[in-house]
A and B are shown apart, each in its own frame.
Chain A
Amino acid sequence: MKWFSVEDVSNLWPTVKDRFDERLPFRRASLNNKTRNPVFVENLNAEFILTTDSRLRSRFPQEQSLFWFREPYATVVLVTCEDLDEFKTILKPRLKLIVQNDEREWFIVFVSRAHPSNDNAIKSAKKVYDRVQVEFSTKKRERCCKFDIHGPEALFWEDLESKIMDCVRNTLDRRVQFYEDEIRKLSEQRFMPIWNFCNFFILKESLAFMFEMAHLYEDALREYDELELCYLETVNMIGKHRDFGGVEHGDDHAALLNPGNKPLSQIVQDDSFREFEFRQYLFAYQSKLLFKLNRPFEVASRGYSFVISFSKSLTSHEHKLPFCMREVWVITACWDLITASSSQYKAGLVAPDIEKEFYRLQGDLFSLGRVKFMRLAYLVGYGNDIERSPVNSASLSMLPWPRPSVWPSVPSEASSEVLEKEKLILQTTSKTKHFGIQRKELPLEPTVLLREANRRRASLSAGNAFEIFDGSDRSGPDGSSKSPNSQKKAGVSMSRTFSSPGNFEGSPDRPMRIAEIHVAAQHALQETISDEDLWKSLSSVEEFEKKYLELTKGAADNYHRSWWKRHGVVLDGEIAAVCFRHGNFDQAAKSYEKVCALYAGEGWQELLADVLPNLTECQKMLNDQAGYLSSCIRLLSLDKSLFLNKEREAFQAELVRLAHSELKDPVPLDVSSLITFSGIPGPPLELCDGDPGNLSVTVWSGFPDDMTLDSVSLTLMATFNADVGAKAVRSSTAMLKPGRNTITLSLLPPKPGSYVLGVLTGQIGQLRFRSHSFSKGGPADSDDFMSYEKPARPILKVFKPRALVDLAAAISSPLLINEIQWAGIVVRPIDYSLKGAILHIDTGPGLSIEKSFVIEMESCANLSQTEPDTPNSFDSQNGSPTANKQLEQLTLEDGKINFPDWASDMDSVIWVPIWAKSDSLPRGSSSVAPPRPNMVDGMRTIALNLEFGASHNQTFERTIAVHFSDPFHVSSRVIDKCNEGTLLLQVILQSQVKATLTVYDAWLELQDGFVHAGQGDGRPTLGSFPLAVSPTSKGGIIFNICLGKTIDENGAEKSESIVNIRYGISGDRTSGAHPPVAMEYSGSDASRKDLTFRSVLVLQRPVLDPCMAVGFLPLPSVDLRVGQLVPMKWRVEMLKDLEDKEISKHNVLYEVNANPENWMIAGRKRGYIPLSKKQGSRIVISVLCVPLVAGYVRPPQLGLPNVDESDISCNPPGPHLVCIMPPALSSSFCVPV
């Protein structure tokens, strides 16, 4: 609060006071801070008081310099005068007096009471004011202002404010200067013995106070900071033993935010202050200023470090302080800081970084308070209700016990409490972990409390305590095992050993029992703690838990807000533990899941191993089967060393039990972490399209014991086509041993492509498990692992569909029809085994398999094997291909042939005896009946169906064509017509097969109308048998026949002639036609059975017998020209006597046809010519023609309309075209030279 003294000269103050006060506080001011930099401050508080005010009079002059800050900042001289003379005589001397004697800043406010309507008054007031200005204002400084009571005010107030601010600024500067000088002087003497901190403090604080009043909080804070530094230096000065303080009642409650906790006079000591109170006092002021600066974050941050450092000081003075004073102080300090800073903190106003930091500090404060609170609770005996989790253990087990000079002992009247406590201890059963996990519980105490407490008792020497303790501690040879279990047992057993009734308040030498320690601590704490809230929290287990939960939640929330997820989540786990204890499994499971996710995600397995069983237990309680099972899996997949083998077996047993009994519905479960798999090293399995196969997969089982899987299936992913999903392969039951297993899975025929391992799925009881991970080794499921992922190795390759085998006819040349022939089928496997293959043979129409004969199968030279590419084939070949030429006789069963083993990999030929039947006799060709080439006639088909592959899954179907034909094609012609009427008939035999045919005999059966010439028996005239006909060559036989009629005895008329040929064949089945099958086995040449071939020959009597011939006589050799007369001549000749013809008349009608445009015919175009009917009579018809156009033109034609065209032989009848030249040039147009 700033004061401005008002020197009310003209007794005006009562009238203007209200209007002055209205202007307060000053809204905006510019002041100089300590470094003389202008600072704008707002809402500056001030008060106008009269100089006669009592507050100004009570000062002792000597105090004035020190408490100068309380002096008014400026004097306002309030004056009015309407008369110039009055001013000169009375007012001026008085004002001079006031102004001269005052060191303060001053200025004069001239109040004009003149009414605006009163011009005279205004004028005179103005005159006076001018005079005042002349007298008191200087050039440098304007010290006057005029206040018109009735006039407009705005200008005046502005003026006034600026005047006041000038004064304030000047005063402040002057005072700061003064204090600084003083402080400097004192500081210089700092290391002198006479130096007094209190004096220094007073100056400093006065300065700080002044700054604070001037709203220069930054400067004030700096002063306090400097003061603190200085104090800490003095307090730590060696050689000065000072009282620490903190022993008064209520000191345990931290006063670090309560500046007015104790008056300074109470804490002053010698030349300084007591540390305990004074440091808190300083901090309180600092925080007050910080709050005013709106920096609660800094309060928290300074507060936290203050608590830490102050706690250290408390530790060093602990022996003088009440029991656990330090802990209590820290707890209350933290709580106060949290409440104060969070209430002042407004989220969103500061930078995100600061905000984060603020929450982090809140979390730290919460967690610090929480730890100390737990420590107290443990001392009081609530240790069993504190979860022995890593976070609690880490904070408590490294935190030393309080070290009072003497450990409190049990008050005499508390024996009943001790009994009660003991009962409680006996009742608490140590919590057993789920699955019977035997884990050393984490300690909550740095050393065993029993030993520590007894050691610190004054009456008991340390050695004694050890002896006692060792006597009862059966923890093991190392003697360092301090598991709480053994400790508890020790406590209990001790209590038994020493529990004789009424022995509680026995000799002080007797070591205390644990219950007694708790009771003693409780009583001692009650003494210490003045904070009711805290004491209430420690009064019962329920209250403790409430507070504990509150603190933990606070810490967790704040850590979460500050993005310290690890801290936050871990504390969530602590909340979960409490929820779990109270049966709130749902909440517990949720929180535990968070913790587990954190540890699992970051791979801190040891920590995970601690929490996961708890989560598992929760899930069991909640009947969350899926979660429970997956937790079991996670437990199993943790590092083996983290659990005993027995425990791991228990996990597995639990899993199996659930899977087989309790589950109603199948539960899916991801076991990627536990069951991993990979392909067998080496090249991938290669399969042809459509083939099933067996895929071996290595499966690692992380189960500690054998595991029976009801079914296993594996999906394979196609590498290049994601759409083509996966192929599942299955196997029935599989037993997984711990560690490496090899499982063989049968593959369903997959689509072509290459495959990588996909997902392993399977079933254990009702449990559907699936595993994604390929192999153990790198950290699974992490980003790193993904980026360094090994290229997926194809495990299976299925080739595109391709020809695996080829079936073809062995020969392409025709076989003999109507004879049993070997038809060869070449079977050529193409890099594919035909083991166990079955060939179905189905013959087409007109073809049958002779079942009475065996089928032969023989190997043939394999083209691929003859290539010297692989040494393998050479070895197996072992010499020439003929060396191991296989021949085997097979039988046909139901149209099927089973392949022998040797034929599985090599080319082979199957010889099948077949018989193509053709009922029709072959027809020979002649000029009369030209040959009709028809391949279809001799074509027969064999449908083949080969089943092969591992499970006969592959089939190959082919219909092969076998060509059959007669041995010969017979054609005939009459080569000559002899005079006596005999005809020489040449029968030409053309071999149609690829075999040498030998004709032994041939005879001709003639049709009606023909007879053998002479008395022949139909045999050829020239017997040149046997006649060998090579393949595709021809042979000819000549028969003598003549036209004539024979009366057959039967009366039947034969319309066709038949040529019979007895022949033999010598050929190889590998090249074409060959002797019929039966013959081959009939033996030697002697019993040769000749074959007979019959072919129809059609002979025809001449049907056309022209009796007249018309001939065109040659044209004259000269060129024909247009307009030139050309005689056209035809000769008509009777070829034979026309007895039976219809041309009865002697005259033959002729007719010349010509195109009238081309020709002009000079003569008779049509007329009769006389012609005798005798053979050889002839006549020439001559007609004159004139060509009319040049060019090639058709000549006139002679026709005989009365004679049947068939009776005319006109070959050639005349030229088709004749060349007509243009007319010759007329000479009459020529000019003689």
Chain B
Amino acid sequence: MATTASFIIVSRNDIPIYEAEVGSATKREDAAQLHQFVLHAALDIVQDLAWTTSAMFLKNIDRFNDLVVSVYVTAGHTRLMLLHDSRNDDGIKSFFQEVHELYIKVLLNPLYLPGARIASSHFDTKVRALARKYL
């Protein structure tokens, strides 16, 4: 498992709708905010890159010293963004794919308003389990 990994889902309006620190490293208190900042800045790059490829998985689009940002852009332009320090691209790809599936399940929930924050604890548990499995 990656030592540092920050996972965030950004809705198509650039609003973070789900955040999770999934790294195994002991958390630095300020890390969350810095990770957020890095991921937020990476949106600039995603915005350029997303339209240049038909692939959903954009790996290593941004590098921040040792940390790398990988992004998975869904068809609805929801972006699953992962800030990580591991180099396990296949694992990350699988992680994204499975989270995408979970996200679609959330979307299918009639009570979930697309674009709203994902508050489902079930989703959270699943994502964390996936992170342990793949990252």
- Given the known inter-chain contacts A606-B33, A784-B114, please indicate yes or no for A566 contacting B41, CB distance below 8 A: yes
Q: Is the CB of B40 within 8 A of A480?
A: no
The total of chain A residues at the interface (CB under 8 A) is 38
Task: Give every chain A residue within 8 A of B67 (Cβ-Cβ).
Answer: 398
User: Which listed residue, A440, A606, A785, touches B115 by the CB 8 Å rule?
Assistant: A785
Q: Is the CB of B13 within 8 A of A782?
A: yes
Q: Is the CB of B43 within 8 A of A779?
A: no
Task: Give every chain B residue within 8 A of A784 (Cβ-Cβ).
Answer: 11-13, 113-116
- Given the known inter-chain contacts A778-B113, A784-B115, please indicate yes or no for A603 contacting B14, CB distance below 8 A: yes
| B23 contacts the other chain (CB 8 A) | no
Q: Is the CB of A394 within 8 A of B34?
A: yes
B118 to chain A, nearest CB (A): 12
B48 to chain A, nearest CB (A): 8
Task: Give every chain A residue within 8 A of B45 (Cβ-Cβ).
Answer: 564
Q: Is the CB of B115 within 8 A of A779?
A: yes
User: Which listed residue, B14, B32, B34, touches A393 by the CB 8 Å rule?
Assistant: B34
Task: Give every chain A residue within 8 A of B48 (Cβ-Cβ).
Answer: 356
Q: Is the CB of B14 within 8 A of A442?
A: no
Task: Give every chain A residue within 8 A of B66 (Cβ-Cβ).
Answer: 398
Most chain A beta-carbon neighbours within 10 Å: one of B41, B44, B45, B116:
B44
| B120 contacts the other chain (CB 8 A) | no
A1210 to chain B, nearest CB (A): 104
Binary contact track A389-432/B, C-beta < 8 Å → 1, others 0: 01101110111100000000000000000000000000000000
Q: Is the CB of A788 within 8 A of B113?
A: yes
Q: Is the CB of A602 within 8 A of B13?
A: yes
Task: Give every chain B residue within 8 A of A777 (Cβ-Cβ).
Answer: 113, 116
Q: Which residue on chain A has the smallest CB distance to residue B8?
A: A604
A790 to chain B, nearest CB (A): 9
| A1128 contacts the other chain (CB 8 A) | no
Q: Is the CB of B30 within 8 A of A393?
A: yes
User: Which listed residue, B26, B40, B47, B115, touches A782 by the CB 8 Å rule?
Assistant: B115
* Distance in angstroms between the alpha carbons of A491 and B14 in the assembled complex: 42
| B15 contacts the other chain (CB 8 A) | yes
Q: How large is the interface on B (under 10, 10 to 19, 20 to 34, 35 or more residues)?
A: 20 to 34
Instruction: Scan residues 1-47 of chain B and give those whose CB is less than 8 A from a CB of chain A.
Output: 11-16, 26, 28-30, 32-34, 36-38, 40-41, 43-45, 47
Q: Is the CB of B115 within 8 A of A604?
A: no
User: Which listed residue, B16, B64, B115, touches A398 by the CB 8 Å rule?
Assistant: B64
- Given the known inter-chain contacts A442-B34, A564-B44, A567-B41, please indicate yes or no for A398 contacting B65, CB distance below 8 A: yes
| A570 contacts the other chain (CB 8 A) | yes
Q: Is the CB of A602 within 8 A of B29?
A: no
* Distance in angstroms between the alpha carbons of A559 and B48 in the assembled complex: 13
- Given the known inter-chain contacts A480-B26, A784-B114, please indicate yes or no for A390 contacting B14, CB distance below 8 A: no
| A783 contacts the other chain (CB 8 A) | yes
Task: Give every chain A residue within 8 A of B41 (Cβ-Cβ).
Answer: 391, 566-567, 570
| A481 contacts the other chain (CB 8 A) | yes
Q: Is the CB of A778 within 8 A of B33?
A: no
* Distance in angstroms between the alpha carbons of A607 and B10 in the assembled complex: 15
- Given the known inter-chain contacts A602-B13, A604-B40, please indicate yes or no for A779 contacting B116, CB distance below 8 A: yes
Q: Is the CB of A602 within 8 A of B32?
A: no
| B117 contacts the other chain (CB 8 A) | yes
Task: Give every chain B residue within 8 A of A398 (Cβ-Cβ).
Answer: 34, 64-67
- Given the known inter-chain contacts A391-B37, A779-B115, A788-B113, please indicate yes or no for A440 contacting B32, CB distance below 8 A: no
Q: Is the CB of A785 within 8 A of B113?
A: yes
Task: Give every chain A residue within 8 A of B114 (Cβ-Cβ).
Answer: 784, 788
* Distance in angstroms between the alpha carbons of A443 and B32 in the assembled complex: 13
Q: Is the CB of B40 within 8 A of A602?
A: yes
Q: Is the CB of A481 within 8 A of B29?
A: yes
Task: Give every chain A residue within 8 A of B33 (Cβ-Cβ).
Answer: 390, 442, 606-607, 610
* Distance in angstroms between the alpha carbons of A564 and B13 in the assembled complex: 16
- Given the known inter-chain contacts A566-B40, A602-B40, A784-B13, please indicate yes or no for A440 contacting B29, CB distance below 8 A: yes
Instruction: Scan residues 436-467 of chain A and give those whose CB is less than 8 A from a CB of chain B.
Output: 440, 442-443
- Given the known inter-chain contacts A481-B29, A602-B15, A784-B12, please indicate yes or no for A779 contacting B117, CB distance below 8 A: yes
B36 to chain A, nearest CB (A): 5
Most chain A beta-carbon neighbours within 10 Å: one of B32, B113, B114:
B113
B117 to chain A, nearest CB (A): 7
Q: Which residue on chain A has the smallest CB distance to residue B117?
A: A779
| A434 contacts the other chain (CB 8 A) | no
* Distance in angstroms between the alpha carbons of A788 and B41 in the assembled complex: 28
Q: Is the CB of A480 within 8 A of B117?
A: no
Task: Give every chain B residue within 8 A of A606 (Cβ-Cβ).
Answer: 32-33, 36
Q: Which residue on chain B has the smallest CB distance to residue A603?
A: B15
Task: Give every chain B residue within 8 A of A397 (Cβ-Cβ).
Answer: 30, 34
Task: Give every chain B residue within 8 A of A783 (Cβ-Cβ).
Answer: 13
Task: Give every chain A residue within 8 A of B43 (Cβ-Cβ).
Answer: 566, 602
B25 to chain A, nearest CB (A): 11
| A565 contacts the other chain (CB 8 A) | yes
Q: Is the CB of A607 within 8 A of B40?
A: yes
* Distance in angstroms between the alpha carbons of A693 and B85 in the assembled complex: 63
* Distance in angstroms between the alpha carbons of A63 and B38 in the assembled complex: 57
Q: List 23 A-B contacts (CB under 8 A).
A: A390-B33, A391-B41, A393-B37, A394-B34, A398-B65, A440-B29, A442-B30, A480-B26, A566-B41, A566-B43, A601-B14, A602-B13, A603-B14, A604-B40, A606-B32, A606-B36, A607-B40, A778-B115, A779-B11, A779-B117, A782-B15, A784-B116, A785-B116
| The 4 residue pairs across chains A and B that have the minimum distance between CB atoms | A784-B115, A603-B15, A390-B37, A602-B14
**Further 10 A-B residue pairs, CB within 8 A, beyond A394-B38, A566-B44, A783-B13:** A356-B48, A394-B34, A398-B67, A400-B65, A563-B47, A566-B40, A602-B16, A779-B11, A782-B15, A785-B115
